[in-house]
Amino acid sequence: MNEGVRGAIAEAEPVPTQNAGDSDKPYSLTLPEFEKILAAVIQHRYWVLGAIVVALLLGLLATTLATPEYTSTARIEVLPDSPVDTSVPNERDRSAVNEIAFYNTQYSLLKSESLAERVVRAGNLTADEDFVEAFGLGASDAGSTSAERRSLADKAADTLLNHLSVEPVRTSSLIDISFSTPSPQLSAKLADLWVAQFVQATIDRRFAATSDARKYLEARLEALRRNLETSERALINYSVQKGIVTLSSGADASGRTQTQTLVATDIAQISTALAKARETRIIAEAQRANTMTGVAQVNAPTVGAMRQQRATLEAELAKVRTLFADDYPTVISLRAQIANLDKSIAAETNRSSQSNREAYDAAVKTEQDLQSELDALTGRYNSQQRESIEMAIMQREVDSNRQLYEGLLQRYKEIGVVGVGTNNVSLVDRAKAARVPSSPNLLINLAIALLAGIAVAAGIVFLLEKLDSSIRDPQEVSPRFGLPLLGEIPEASDRPIAEAITDKKSAVYEAYFSLMTNLTFLTEHGAPRSVMLTSSQPQEGKSNSSLCLATVLAATGKSVILVDADVRNPSLNRYLEIPDQRGLSHYLSGDNDLDSMIAELPRFGFSILTAGKTPPNAAELLGSDRLSTLIQTLLGRYDHVLIDSPPLLGLADAPLIARRVEGVLFVIEASTTRNRSIAMALTRLRMSGAKLFGAIVTKIGVRNQLYGYGYRYGYGYSYGADKSEGEERS
């Protein structure tokens, strides 16, 4: 974009008014994301409704064709530890993390393949006719091989797992085990069988794990205890030998022991005192510097008071000397007082300087002493740090031995508790045969279908929105193409545009009047005197905009002429129902009788120069110098010259005309013209060196009401009419 275009955009772009407190928060002219989504849904509502209805019908069909299943549920209670007769305190206390891990383990065990295989064997399900018939499994017979029986058992186990549901009861130790099969009796039988085998498997697992573990742990505990005592003794002996005094110790986030020594504590205290002494020295040094430069003496309260008194005596002396001679007693007395004040000021200044120097010397001495002490302590600390490496190694060994010993001891206690405890899994409720099927559930299936339909509808809307690159929200013109939005023109399909523009109460007139008002801010002399209106393609409303803008400008008392430069396909004569015999093409061809070509339109208040006969060489005529001569001649006669040019794409006419006028107004049809066409047209204009004033979005209709424009036009342009109708009815 060239500098001229940037300047036009900067001058023409309207700036929203803000309060003083909101200067750092510019207003957004585009719709919020939620409103954009809502507008897109309403715009494509038929697609949305169709997708949802189809999804609901499919859900209803799937529910109708599905085989009914019956669910039976058995409830068990699982405790982290069983109650035991033991003297171990707090044996049932567990942290939240341990309990979560324990219950997650139980849920996994309830859904394990080993338990499913155990249930198949215990219930002999491969030979159960009800089970085999319900799930379509082949029954085993006496002639089956071991591999076939194993394969059938695996299929039965997988079938059980597929129809199993394990659900914990919230905020409790209860767990529900459910089975869903086509037979209510079979569901209840499988649920009870699954619970019974889980209880028995838990008992077997608990007692099988404690047979050899106790003997092994006893031997390991004795060895770890000896290692812990040896490492602790070595650590204490080393610290006494090296003179390392430990004030406190504690464990960090990783569990390692951290110690605080006496030397480290002294260094921290000396560092704090040194920082304060350095601050005191800096303050004293600043006061001393002020004393040397004389700033402190001037600002001191005592010296200031004496200087004020001296100034008063000087003024009084000057006053007396105008009346008396130098040997007059009053003059002599005032001079003596002034001399005494000078001596006092000098003495006070010297005293202040001496005091600041002494304070500075004392602060420097204190800082040096503290620095020396800190250096000495730092040397001792560094020496201890080198010696503490071995001590840290010993400390880590002590910590490691202690953690191993305590962990193994805790494990030994837990195994002892398990060995003497009872089972922690108990049956609460047996399964009962269901009376009504649990699935398919019509409401749930319809809800799932509804969600799926909404998801599909969202995808359709997203795809349609991506495919539609037209301008639906006029405020998108500026961020997309860098053009200021100068006018928003509603549709006027109920009557001809020539009739609508002459009615000053119509929405069309109000819209173009607002456009004309925005044009007055484009240049220093108000509305541009020569303007060309063009578009990217035909039928976007540029000719209508030219006609309406000329009418509105003429209504303000300006002399306006409208030039139909679309010599290939003239349209203004058809809109105005006037003959097109001689016009622009004749003048560009060499006919100088301009007055006979201009027609006055008293109904609209402006003059018009029609396109004339269609020439065989339109581009050559529009590129000649006679077009510039014509525009200059018309500017000498009229206040404003409006040129209705051909569309841009595929033609060279508009760029040729754009260089001859003061600026260009680009017309865009709402909800129709694609971004690519607009971008290509603007690129051609900018390459030709034309000055782009801004854009006019036309034919804003029902589709654009979703973006707020329908309401604004309905309120702004019909407010007066509604009021008049109300008064008439009253």
Is a pLDDT exceeding 50 seen at residue 87? Answer: no
Dist. CA 258–CA 248, nearest whole Å: 8
Provide the pLDDT for residue 336.
79
pLDDT attached to residue 177: 92
Quote the CA–CA distance of 597 and 626 in Å, as a whole number: 15
CA distance 444 to 498: 60
- Tell whether the model's pLDDT for residue 576 goes beyond 80: yes
pLDDT, average across residues 34-54 = 82
pLDDT digit string, tens, across residues 697-707: 888 865 555 44
- Cα 484 to Cα 608: distance, rounded to the nearest angstrom: 28
Share of the chain above pLDDT 70, in %: 77
Express each pLDDT in 270-325 by its tens digit. Answer: 788 878 877 777 877 776 676 555 444 444 567 677 778 788 878 887 777 777 77
Residues 589/549, Cβ–Cβ less than 8 Å: no
CA distances (Å), 328 to each of 319, 321, 324, in order?
13, 9, 6
Asked if residue 616 lies in contact with residue 505, where contact means CB atoms within 8 angstroms, the answer is no
Residues 6+ apart with CB under 8 A from 667: 533, 534, 535, 540, 541, 542, 545, 695, 696, 698
Query: Pick from 646, 549, 527: which is nearest to 605 by CA?
Result: 549
From the list 291, 311, 292, the residue with the least C-alpha distance to 300 is: 291
State both tokens at 244.
């390392």
Task: Please tell me the number of Cα atoms within 13 Å of 209 on its side-chain side.
Answer: 15
Distance CA 100, CA 81 (A): 14
- Whether the pLDDT of residue 157 is over 50: the answer is yes
Phi (first) and psi of residue 143, to 5 degrees: -90, 0
Instruction: Tell me the residue length of the chain.
Output: 730
Quick: pLDDT tens for 473-486.
Answer: 788 888 888 889 89
Q: Is 570 helix (H, G, I), strand (E, B) or coil?
A: coil
pLDDT at residue 385 tops 90: no
Give the least confident one: 4-18, 61-75, 498-512: 4-18
* CATH top class, domain 474-718: alpha beta
The first and second tokens of residue 661, run together, are 């006028």
Lowest mean pLDDT: which of 32-36, 46-50, 373-377, 716-720? Answer: 716-720
If you search the block for the tokens 């409208």, which residue do you land on? 562
Q: Give percent of the chain with pLDDT exceeding 90.
A: 20
Q: What is the pLDDT of residues 57-75, one digit of tens each?
A: 998 898 888 778 889 999 9
Element (H, E) at 105: helix 96-110
- Choice among 445-449, 468-472, 532-536, 653-657 with the minimum mean pLDDT: 468-472
- Residue 241 burial (CB count, 10 A): 9
Helix or strand or coil: residue 699?
A: strand
The candidate with the shortest Cα–Cα distance to 669, out of 466, 509, 472, is: 472
Report residue 550's pLDDT band, with 50, 70 and 90 as the boundaries.
very high
Q: Reading across the β-sheet that carries 663-669, which strands appear in turn? A: 485-490, 692-700, 663-669, 530-535, 640-644, 560-564, 606-609, 598-601
Q: What is the pLDDT of residue 608?
A: 93
Q: How do residues 316-371 score in pLDDT, each as one tens digit?
A: 877 777 777 777 787 778 777 888 777 777 777 767 667 677 777 777 778 777 77
Dig out the tokens for 691 from the structure: 């000055």
Q: Is 535 helix (H, G, I), strand (E, B) or coil?
A: strand
Give me the residues paired with residue 446 across strands.
none
Query: If DSSP codes are grouped into helix, strand and coil, which group holds residue 69?
Result: strand
The answer to which of 380-384, 436-440, 546-550 has the lowest mean pLDDT is: 380-384
Q: Which of 469-473, 572-576, 602-606 has the lowest mean pLDDT?
A: 469-473
Domain residue extents for the chain: 3-13+30-66+440-467, 70-208, 260-388, 474-718
Cβ atoms within 10 Å of 514's Cβ, excluding its own: 16
What is the Cα gyration radius of the chain?
49
User: What is the spatial distance between Cα 547 and Cα 226, in angstroms, rounded to a whole number?
Assistant: 106
Smallest CA-to-CA distance from 471 within 707, 714, 715 is with 707
User: What pLDDT score does 220 carry?
Assistant: 82
Bridging pattern class, strands 530-535 and 663-669 = parallel
439 pLDDT exceeds 90?
no
Which position has the token pair 């004749």?
Answer: 586
User: What pLDDT, on a 0 to 100 scale, did the predictor assign at position 252?
Assistant: 57
Nearest to 225 by CA among 88, 397, 392, 404: 404
For 439-501, the DSSP string reads: BS-HHHHHHHHHHHHHHHHHHHHHHHHHH--S--SGGGHHHHHS--EEEEEE--TTS-HHHHH
The 8-class DSSP code of residue 387 comes to H
Mean per-residue pLDDT for 712-727?
41
Looking at the domain that runs over 70-208, which CATH code has it been given?
Answer: 3.30.1890
Q: What pLDDT is attached to residue 243?
A: 67
Amino acid present at 307: R
Of the ranges 298-312, 533-547, 576-590, 595-609, which one carries the lowest mean pLDDT score?
A: 298-312
